[in-house]
Structure 1
C-alpha cells in the first residue's frame, strides 16, 4: 500500500468475535444469577406457625430476621428456616418473652438486581433488535437488509495474493502500454509538473482467457495501491436507480482510498449503446451508464482514481464511454503467438515438477490459438494425468496426452463398435488424411485416430507450421477439399448407398466456410468483393446474421455460389482419392492396426509402405494394402465415423 493511504478503520474480525462471545458469556451469567443463583437456606424448612409455636415453648435459642426469610438455631443445636407471613409486629415481643436472641439482616441485593433485570429485559431486547436493524441498513457492499444502493466492489489487498508483471507473460505489448499507469501511480509529480495528465481509463479488449483480469491485477500489484474489482452485471438490478446509486457509492469508496484502481470486468453488461433497450430509453441500464459517464469525466474531478475495464465486445459499447477523458486508451490483449505461448507455459510450469524431456517450445508449437487460460488448463491436465499414473515427474508424454484431451476430447474407450463400423471409420479418416497430404496449401497432419474422442468417433488433426493471422483463398479451398475427403472415401470404398452420417460436421464446416467466402470475404467471382451478410447487435437479434443488398435474385446467386464451392471441393477430393486409392487402402489398414498414427508415421507409411515403431516386438511392420475387410487387434475397442471440421 502507498504511504499516503488512509488507515483502514474497518473493525478487526477477531475483535468483533471477541465482543460477541463476551456478550454471550455475560448473558449466561445474568441468567444463572436470575434462575440458578438463589441463596441456600440453612436447616429444616418449617412453617411460620410452627416457628411461633417453637418460640412459645422455649425450644428456640436464637434467630436472624430478614425481610423475606427467618433463620435460627434450636436449643438442641438444630437449625431451621421459615418465610415470614406479612408483617408481624408482635414477633420481637414474643422473642423477648422467650429470652431468644435475635438480630436483623438486610434484603439480598442479588435478588434485587434480578428483579430489576427481569423488568428491563423486554426493553433491552427491543433496543438490541433496533440496533441490529440499523447496522444492517448502514452496512456497506449492498449486503445489508436495505443496502440496495451500496456498491458491491470488493477491495483486494496483498493478503489475497500480490500479482506483478512477472506473472504476466505472452502479452508484452499490452504490458508495456500499461506500464505508464504504474509509473504515474508510483510518482504522480513526475507527470504533473510538466502539465501532463494520466489517462483516466484504460479498456482492455481481448478474447476470453487472454489475461485481461490478470493484467489489471498486475498493474495494482506493481504500483502497490488499493484494487477494487466489480463486474458490470453487479450494477444493474430490477429496481430503477439502484445501479446509479451503486456507481456513486463505488466512486465514494475509491476517493477514500485514492490513489487506487477500479477494475470493472465485462463492462459491456452496463455500457452498451444507449437506445437499444426494449422499453423506453430511460431504463435502469442507461441510468447506470449515464452515472458512470458523469463520474468518470464530469464537473467533479476524481483525481487518483484510474478505471480499468475489460470486455470481449468493444463494438457494442456506447461511443460516449470510449471518448478521450473516459476510456482514453484501448489496449488489445491478443491471443499469444508461439513465443508468447512458450513464456506463458514457462510461468505455469514453475509450479509443476518436470521431467528432463519436457520442451516448452515443442508444446507451444503444437498449441496454436491457445489463450493463457487454455495453456494453464493444459499444464494442469498434464499434472493430473501424471498423478493418476503414479509418476513423480510430469513428462512430455503427459503433455501430449493432455493436449489431445484438450483439443480433441477424452477418449471414449468404453464404446463398442462392429468390425464394419470400425472399417468405415478407418476409411473415413484415411480419406481426410490422404487429401490433406496431396493438397499443397493444407496444414500438415499432426495426428490421426479412430479412437472416439468427445463427440467425434474419429479425427484427423492438422496443425499449422507457424501462427496464421490471415487465410488465403488457396488454403480455404484446400480446407474445403479436406473436409469432403471422408465422405468421398466412403463413396469410393462402400458405394453411394452405404455412406454414413459421419460426415455431418464436415458438411457443416464446409457450408459455413463457403458461405463466409461468398458473403463476407468477397471470394466469389460472380458476386464480387461485396459484403452480403453482417452480424446484428443489440438486444434484438444478438448473435444473428442478416443478409444485406440481397434481393430474391441475389439470394439465389449466393446460394448457388455456396453450393458450387462445396461441390467443387467434393470433386477435387474425388480426383485425389481416385488417383491415390492404393494409399487410401494402405492408410486405412494401418489405422485399423494401430488406432492412432502421428503425422510423421503417416508420411513414412505413404513413402515406404511400413511404419517403424520402437515398441513393436518384431521391428518395422509392413502394412499390405487390401481391399477386403481387416480385423483389428483382439482385445482393443475402436471408434470411428465422425471427424469434426474435417481437420
Structure 2
C-alpha cells in the first residue's frame, strides 16, 4: 500500500507540472486585452467619421483606440484599401507580424509527450519487477531488509524458554557493545553464529533480540533470496549484502533458512557452475577472505544442519553453533507467561499446569495454543480467557477440531467405542504406558476416535520395555474388535495402529539394536541417499537374506504385542464392556473418569459438556503436538473402500 501511494503521488506531481507548463507556454495576448469586438462595417463608419485615433494591424486582426479612449478589435477581410482609408483620416497605423495561438515550446512538448509517457511506463514496470529496489536493472542488489525500532525492538526479555542459547549469545552482545574489551587481549569474536533447532523454537526471535540488546543495525534476508535463474546474480547479492554491512558496522546480518543456499556442494546437477554453488562460494570468500569484515557478525538459522557444506561450518566462518531446542517444563511456563501478557486471563488460569501438560511443544506451538484459547473465549462471548478455554484449545491443537456434524450409525459408534476402550484398557494395564488423559469417540481431525496418553514429564529417551508396552497398546483396538465382533467383522480402523507398530518395530530392529537375532547393526533403507565423492547414488546395503531376517523379526515383535493384548483384554472382558458402555453414554471420558468406571464409581462432572479436568495436558511421547496412531486413533475408511 505504501508503494502504491508513492507511485500515485509521483504521477499526480507529473500531471500538475504538465498543467503548469501548459499555462506557462500559453500566448500572452488574448481577446480580452484587445477591447470590445465590433463589426467590420461599424469599424469603417468610425473611420469615415474620424473617431479612430490609432489602429494596430496584426494579420487580419485590427485593434486600436477611439478618440473617446475606448478600445476595439475587429476581424478584417482581404481589403487592400484599408491602409489608404486609415491614412486619409489621419489614423496612426502600427503593423505587427502574425503570431500563432500556441507557443512553439509547447508544441515541441506536445510532440514528445507520447514518447516520454512510454519511457515513464517502462521505468515504472521495471521498478515493480525489481521489487521496488529503486533501479530498473538492480538484479545484483541485495534484498536484505534493515529492521529498525519502527518494526518493534526485541530484547532478551521477550525471549523465554531457551536460557542456554541466550547465554551463548551474550558474548556477541558484549562484543558489539564494547569491541575493545576483547581486542585488547587479542581475542576475536566468532564471525558467524549458526542457530540450529526444530521449527518454531524461536531462532529468528533470538537473533533479533541480540540486535536489540546491542542496539545495532539488523539486516535480515532469507537464503532463497540469493538464488535466481541467472548465474552470478546470487554472488553479486552476497557482495552487496556485505558491502551494506561494512557501511553500517557494527551490525548483524541474519540469514534465515541458510540451507537453501548452503547445501553440500557437488550433490546437484551442473557440476560446480550452477547458481546456488556460485552463491555459496562467494559467501565463503566474504566470510573468511582477504578482506576484513570486522564488526559484521553473521547469524544464520536452519533446522537441517546435516545438509550444510562442511566448508561453511569450519572455524573462521560459522565457527559457533548454538542449539535452540524445544523448551522444558520451566521454559514452557515462561513462554506462556510472555504470550499471556496481551490476553485477559481469568483467575483460575495456571500457566504451570498448562506447561506441565504440553511437553514437546515449541514456542510457536505455545503461542498458537494461547491464540486458540483467546479465539474460543471470544467466540462464546467471554471477557476473560479461563482454564476451560485453554483445555479446549489444547485438545484442538493435539487431536484436531471436533466433527460433530459427521453422522455415524449406531453400529459404527459401538465398534469405535470398543476399539478405543481396547486402547485405553491396555494403556491402564501396562505399567510402562503413559497414563491415559482422555478417550473420545467424537470424530476429531481424520480419526473417528482417539485415546490420548499423558507422559509424567519431559522424556528424552525411551527403553525397550516401554516400546513393547506401546506396541501392545496399539494392538488393543484391533484385538477388542476381534473379541467382541469376531475376526470376520473387524474394520479398517486399525490401519494407523498397524502402520505405527510396523514403523516402531522396524526402527527397533534396524536402528536401535533391540533384536537379539539381528544384533546391534544399523541397517538403512534400500533407497537411502549417500554421498560418494561428488555424486549421489542409491545404496542397496541389505542382502536378500538379511532383509528376510529383518522382516521376520518385525513380524515376531508385532505378533508378540498382539498376543499380549489379546491375553490382557480376554482376562479383563468385563472392564472392556464397562469402558465401551461409558464411551457410548458420555462420548468423552477423562483419565480419572475411566478409573472411576473401572472401580464401579459414578461419574460426577462440574460441567456437563466436558469431562473432569485432570490438571494435566496430553501430548504424544514423540514430542510433536500432533495426534499419533499409537494413542489409539481409529482411522476412517479410505475413499473407495
Matched, 1:305 2:296: yes
Alignment match, 2:585:
593
Answering whether residue 572 of structure 2 is matched by residue 551 of structure 1, we say no
SS state at 2:344 partner = coil
Q: Residue deviations 1:181-204, cap 9 Å, x none? A: 011111111111111111000000
Q: Alignment partner for residue 379 of structure 2, among 382, 388, 399?
A: 388
Equivalent of 2:496 in 493, 500, 505: 505
Equivalent-residue separation in structure 1 for 2:14 and 2:339 (angstroms): 49
SS at the partner of 1:219? helix
The residue that corresponds to 1:224 in the other structure is 215
Q: How does 1:153-232 map to 2 (within 5 A)?
A: 153-232=144-223
Which residue of structure 1 lines up, in the alignment, with residue 343 of structure 2?
352
Cα deviation, residue 645, structure 1: 2.9
Separation in 1, partners of 2:222, 2:38? 74
Q: In 1, are the aligned partners of 2:453 and 2:631 still within 8 Å (CA)?
A: no
Q: CA deviation at 1:145?
A: 3.3
TM-score, normalization by structure 1: 0.86
CA deviation vs aligned residue, 1:253-279 (integer Å, no higher than 9, x gap): 111111111111110011011100122
Deviation of the 1:607 alpha carbon: 2.1
State the Cα distance separating 1:149 from its structure 2 match: 1.1
Structure 1 residues 70 and 233: CA distance shift in structure 2, 3 A:
same
Is 1:291 matched up with 2:282? yes
Distance 1:38 1:161, change over 3 A: farther
In structure 2, runs of 5+ residues without a counterpart are 613-626, 633-641
Q: Quote how far apart the aligned CAs of 1:606 are.
A: 1.2
Asked if the contact 2:530–2:539 (Cα under 8 Å) also holds between the matched residues in 1, the reply is: no
Q: Is the 8 A contact 1:265 1:309 kept in 2?
A: yes
Aligned to 1:646: 631
Give the secondary-structure state (helix, strand or coil) at the position aligned to 2:31: coil
User: Within 5 Å, which residues of 2 pair with 1:91-106?
Assistant: 93-100=84-91
2:131 & 2:380 partners in 1: Cα distance? 49
Asked if the contact 2:336–2:366 (Cα under 8 Å) also holds between the matched residues in 1, the reply is: yes
Q: Does the Cα contact within 8 Å between 1:354 and 1:393 map onto a contact in 2?
A: yes
Any idea what SS the aligned residue of 1:528 has? coil
Is the alpha carbon distance of 1:611 and 1:143 closer, same or farther for their aligned partners in structure 2, counting shifts above 3 Å?
farther
**In structure 2, how many angstroms separate the alpha carbons of the residues matched to 1:537 and 1:211?**
30
Name 1:119's counterpart in structure 2: 108
Q: For 2:347 and 2:586, how far apart are their aligned partners in 1?
A: 28
What is the alpha-carbon distance in structure 1 between the residues aligned to residue 480 and residue 395 of structure 2? 25
Change (3 A) 1:119 1:527: same
Note the 1:488-527 alignment, pairs <5 A: 488-527=479-518
Alpha-carbon distance change, 560 to 479 in structure 1, aligned in 2, over 3 angstroms: same
Distance 1:89 1:186 in 2: 95
Conserved 8 A contact 1:55-1:98: no
CA distance in 2, matches of 1:186, 1:111: 70
> Secondary structure in 1 aligned to 2:199?
coil
Report the equivalent of 1:612.
Answer: 604
Q: Per the alignment, in what secondary structure is the counterpart of residue 451 of structure 2?
A: strand
What is the distance in 1 between the residues matched to 2:603 and 2:354?
A: 24
Mapped contact 1:156–1:228 kept (Cα < 8 A): yes
The aligned counterpart of 1:636 is none
Q: Is the 8 A contact 1:205 1:332 kept in 2?
A: yes
Q: Which residue of 2 aligns with 1:404?
A: 395
Establish whether residue 71 from structure 1 lines up as the match of residue 63 from structure 2: yes
CA contact (8 A) 1:140 1:151 kept: no
Indicate conservation of the 8 Å contact 1:522/1:529, yes or no. yes
Structure 2 residue 248 is the aligned partner of structure 1 residue 271 = no
Unaligned runs of 5+ in 1: 1-11, 621-641
Which residue number corresponds to residue 621 of structure 2? none
Partners of 2:38 and 2:303 lie apart in 1 by 86
RMSD: 3.4
Asked if structure 1 preserves the Cα contact closer than 8 Å seen for 2:377 and 2:383, the reply is yes
Mapped contact 1:426–1:450 kept (Cα < 8 A): yes
1:434 to 418, 425, 433: 425
The answer to whether structure 1 residue 572 and structure 2 residue 572 are counterparts is no
Shift in Å at residue 40 of structure 1?
A: 3.3
Shift of 1:61: 3.0
C-alpha change, 1:236 and 1:141, in structure 2 (3 Å) is: farther
The CA distance in 1 between the partners of 2:501 and 2:105, in whole Å, is 88
Aligned to 2:575: 583
